[in-house]
Structure 1
Amino acid sequence: MPSPDIPQSRNPPPSNRQLLILLGLFISFIVGVIWLLNLLINSLIGLIPPSVEQKLGAVIVPVYEQQAQPSPTQETLNQLLARLEKQLPPEQSKQRDYRVLYLPEDTVNALALPGDVIVVYAGFLKQVESENELMMVLGHELGHFAHRDHLRSLGRRLLVRTAIAYFVGDVGALESLAISGLATLSKSKFSQSQEQQADEFGLRLLQQTYGHVAGATDFFARMSHKRGASWDFLSSHPSPGKRVTRLQRLIKEQNYPLKERSPLPENLNQSHLISSPVEYPY
């Protein structure tokens, strides 16, 4: 007796092409959501008071404060920073408490931390040959504060990771996002556009402080010839050669004058002699 025909399903399984289309739509949806939320974050950044960044800094800065000690070098660096701060518009200095922490270590780097703190290492000062190039780097770091780059970077990082964790259903990851985001913020790289904006900001401050921009490219040009050097500055900042080219173009476009460079203050010239923290009275 012939077996009865098995009725064919009216809904055949999707083809590979259909699956790829669905996957593409799903990915596009996630990217679109992240893009819209990122746009929202950027629009809200300006409404967040500086006190929020200072609270973020309260988590990160103490680690660096333990390595720094009050010293003539740190005092001089803060005096130079104060000269730059005088050139800031009121909205960028209001409710701010900019300061420098000097770390007597051979690391060649300078970085901005949330909480209005700029960290300068002795290894960086060893490479600086004029006050002007030092002020350019300090002005660059002030630019990150002016543009609220820490909040933008933290917001984007948490946003992307939160979206991924949500869509894959990883509840544990959602709970640890804030802590891990803060832990890595001080070591993260800013985007290329953020670094370019900070360079432009530092260049303007240099012009306003000295009436010229001599020395603006010196440190970066010197770094571009240090091939093979293991410098933290190179890992946390853009290519120095490209920065020099772009800064030179900006100087020409803005018709900024170039005059004589100012020498480093004497105790900054001698900073490389400090191999360990020394206590000084406040």
Structure 2
Amino acid sequence: MAEQLTAIFYDGKSSVPRTVHLYFDKQKGILSFQTENQEQLWEIKSVTLTSNKNSITLQHGKALFQQLVIDDPELIVAIESSKRAATTNLYQRLINYGFPLHALVALLILGLIVLSYLYVVPWIGEKSVALIPEEYDNKLGDAFFDQNMMFTSVDTARSKALNQFAQELKLNNTKKLHFTVVTSETVNAFALPNGNIVVYTGILKEMKSYDELVALLGHEVSHVNERHAMKMMCRNLSGYLLISTILGDVNGVMATIGDNINSLQSLSFSRAFEQQADREGFKIVVANKVNPRGVSNLFKRLEDADFAVPEFLSSHPMTKERIRYIDKMIKTESYQILENPKLKSLFKVIK
């Protein structure tokens, strides 16, 4: 049953207090009273309660704050009890759902954490590249090249021929390129963010025609143009870079990357990056009127070769799906093939 009492009401528009007749329904937890304009219904669970020395103040509303000041001791006890019950009931309802609901909520939270770690955080890490000036790509690539080339056997004659070979091509490069041939049975090639592209003699031996070499160079140059090495490194280091990115600490981002410089050679690019390099590499091949089947032939030959998985395919993940993707471009895109005697001659020297 509702009880009738009096209280002081402030309408939020003026500081003039008004005495209102207040009805409190204990069972429903609702305060009701009549103002000049309308009947007011306040749910105890939705009001803000402030206890004073001999009274309580109830605040109601969002844009317009209205207040009730109550000094009746019994009503104060009843309202405070009702407020506690409303809060307790919500908590109790959650408790009463039992273990199945709690387990489901825990799994959902865990799932969100895992998804964030796998997708959101790496995405943020990749976007961190935008904070890094391209000049740093050059410094990083130079540092790696200087540290690692001293431990390898560079074939000077072949390197000169490969640079001449590249100069005959339109590579759409966004920075100066330099090509180095390393004497090694390792079947590999990789591009550094400063435009240095390293090709091992092991992969050159597997090539049968100059169009395969053009396709390889076009693919690697595309990685340089799109800053894939920097983006992939930032993805791999995303956990470390996240806080630095949020704080806008560019020096922290670059320091973390610099500490992991030696991972440049062994970076494994994502499928999206590889497909992008395939598309851009295909454009380079077509622009030079070279047979685009070169890239498909090379990858198929490496995949079918009778030896352990080449290092090139481990750092450039090649699946049958990607080979089909390349073959589809060959079938659907238009291109013209012109024999290039100079490229053919230089390829023989490089081989």
Write 1 or 2 for the structure with the bigger share of strand.
2
Deviation at 1:268, TM superposition (A): 4.6
- Find the counterpart in structure 2 of residue 170 from structure 1: none
- CA spacing shift, 1:37–1:235, aligned 2, 3 Å: closer
SS across alignment from 1:129 = coil
- Equivalent pair of 1:77/1:100 in contact (CA under 8 Å): yes
- Equivalent pair of 2:289/2:337 in contact (CA under 8 Å): no
Q: Which structure 2 segments of 5+ residues have no match? A: 1-91, 244-252
Q: Does residue 32 of the first structure (1) align with residue 116 of the second (2)?
A: yes
SS across alignment from 1:102 = strand
- Equivalent pair of 2:128/2:234 in contact (CA under 8 Å): no
TM-score, reference length from structure 2: 0.60
Mean Cα deviation higher: 25-34 or 219-228 = 25-34
Aligned residue pairs total 247
Could you tell me the percent identity over the aligned residues?
26
- Find the counterpart in structure 2 of residue 167 from structure 1: none
- Larger RCO, structures 1/2 (Cα 8 Å, 6+ apart): 1
Deviation at 1:255, TM superposition (A): 2.1
Q: Does residue 143 of the first structure (1) align with residue 228 of the second (2)?
A: no
Write 1 or 2 for the structure with the bigger share of helix.
1
Max Rg structure: 2
Instruction: Provide the C-alpha distance between the structure 2 equivalents of 1:187 and 1:32, rounded to a whole number of angstroms.
Output: 25
Q: Does residue 124 of the first structure (1) align with residue 208 of the second (2)?
A: no
- CA spacing shift, 1:68–1:98, aligned 2, 3 Å: farther
Q: Which structure 1 segments of 5+ residues have no match? A: 1-9, 165-173, 273-282
1:27-176 correspondence to structure 2 within 5 Å: 27-29=111-113, 31-32=115-116, 35-43=119-127, 45-46=129-130, 48-66=132-150, 67-69=152-154, 71-84=156-169, 86-88=170-172, 92-93=173-174, 96-160=175-239
Letter in 2 for 1:58: D
- Equivalent pair of 1:213/1:259 in contact (CA under 8 Å): no
Letter in 2 for 1:113: L
Instruction: Provide the C-alpha distance between the structure 2 equivalents of 1:19 and 1:140, rounded to a whole number of angstroms.
Output: 48
Q: Does residue 244 of the first structure (1) align with residue 244 of the second (2)?
A: no
Instruction: Provide the C-alpha distance between the structure 1 equivalents of 2:290 and 2:346, rounded to a whole number of angstroms.
Output: 25
TM-score, reference length from structure 1: 0.72
- Find the counterpart in structure 2 of residue 206 from structure 1: 285
- Equivalent pair of 1:110/1:124 in contact (CA under 8 Å): yes
- Equivalent pair of 1:220/1:243 in contact (CA under 8 Å): no
